[in-house]
C-alpha cells in the first residue's frame, strides 16, 4: 500500500512539473513580442532579443522631424568578420538642410559613416568625419559601393533572418532608432539575390 502511494505522489509531481514547463515555454503573445524584444535589446543589447523583432518593424518607414528613413538593412557577415555594413535611404521633406552626424549600435563597438570612391582603378574607402549632408527636398541613399554605415568590431555574427539595431543621430532632427533586417551574405539590396559584391 505504501509503495502505491509513493508511486502515485511521484506521478502527480511529474505531471505538475510537466504542465509548468509547457506553459513557461509557450511563445509570447504576438502583440507583445516586438515590445519585449525592444525592451530586452535596450537593457542588454543581446543578439537573441534582436532576432525577435517583428517583420513590420524591419520594413518600417520611420519619420523623425522633417526626415523619412526607409529601406534600412544590413547583410550577413562571414565567419570571423569584425565589421558589417549598414544601408538605408533618408528623405528630407523639409525646407532646411540636415546632416547625419553620428550613429551607434549595441551590436558593434562603434559605427562610422564611410564612403567608397574609385582612385586610379582602385576602390578606396574613407570615413566621413564631418558626417553626411541631407539637403532639403533631397533623398540620400546609403548603399553598397557608395556611402554606407560601417559597424566596427561587431559583437556577434550578423545572421540572415535576424536584425541589427542602429541609432542615427541627425544634427537637426535628432536621434532615431532603426532595426536593420539581415539579408544573405553578398546581397546588394533588401530584395536582390546575393552576389560577390562587398560593402
CATH architecture of 56-183: Sandwich (2.60)
pLDDT in tens, 134-169: 999 999 999 999 999 999 999 999 999 999 999 999
Which of 123-135 are b and which e, b meaning 16 or more Cβ less than 10 Å from the residue's Cβ? eeeeeeeebbebe
- The DSSP secondary structure of 76-102, one letter per residue, reads ---TT--EEEEEEEEEE-SSS-EEEEE
Q: Where are the domains of the chain?
A: 56-183
Q: What is the pLDDT of residue 192?
A: 53
pLDDT in tens, 162-197: 999 999 999 999 999 999 999 999 898 877 544 433
pLDDT in tens, 77-111: 999 999 999 999 999 999 999 999 999 999 999 99
Q: What is the pLDDT of residue 59?
A: 53
pLDDT in tens, 18-69: 333 332 333 333 333 333 333 333 333 333 333 333 334 445 799 999 999 9
Amino acid at each position: 500500500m505504501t509503495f502505491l502511494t509513493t508511486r502515485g505522489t511521484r506521478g502527480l509531481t511529474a505531471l505538475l512539473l510537466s504542465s509548468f514547463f509547457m506553459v513557461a515555454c509557450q511563445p509570447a503573445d504576438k502583440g507583445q513580442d516586438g515590445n519585449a524584444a525592444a525592451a530586452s535589446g535596450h537593457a542588454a543589447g543581446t543578439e537573441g532579443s534582436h532576432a525577435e523583432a517583428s517583420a513590420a518593424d524591419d520594413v518600417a518607414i520611420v519619420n523623425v522631424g522633417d526626415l523619412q528613413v526607409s529601406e534600412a538593412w544590413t547583410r550577413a557577415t562571414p565567419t570571423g568578420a569584425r565589421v558589417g555594413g549598414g544601408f538605408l535611404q533618408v528623405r528630407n521633406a523639409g525646407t532646411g538642410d540636415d546632416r547625419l552626424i553620428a550613429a551607434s549600435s549595441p551590436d558593434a563597438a562603434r559605427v562610422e559613416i564611410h564612403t567608397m570612391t574609385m582612385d586610379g582603378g582602385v576602390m578606396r574607402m574613407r570615413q566621413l568625419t564631418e558626417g553626411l549632408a541631407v539637403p532639403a527636398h533631397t533623398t540620400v541613399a546609403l548603399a553598397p559601393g557608395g556611402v554606407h554605415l560601417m559597424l566596427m568590431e561587431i559583437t556577434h555574427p550578423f545572421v540572415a533572418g535576424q536584425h541589427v539595431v542602429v541609432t542615427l543621430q541627425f544634427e537637426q532632427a535628432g536621434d532615431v532608432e532603426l532595426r536593420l533586417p539581415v539579408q544573405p551574405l553578398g546581397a546588394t539590396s533588401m530584395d536582390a539575390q546575393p552576389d560577390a559584391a562587398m560593402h
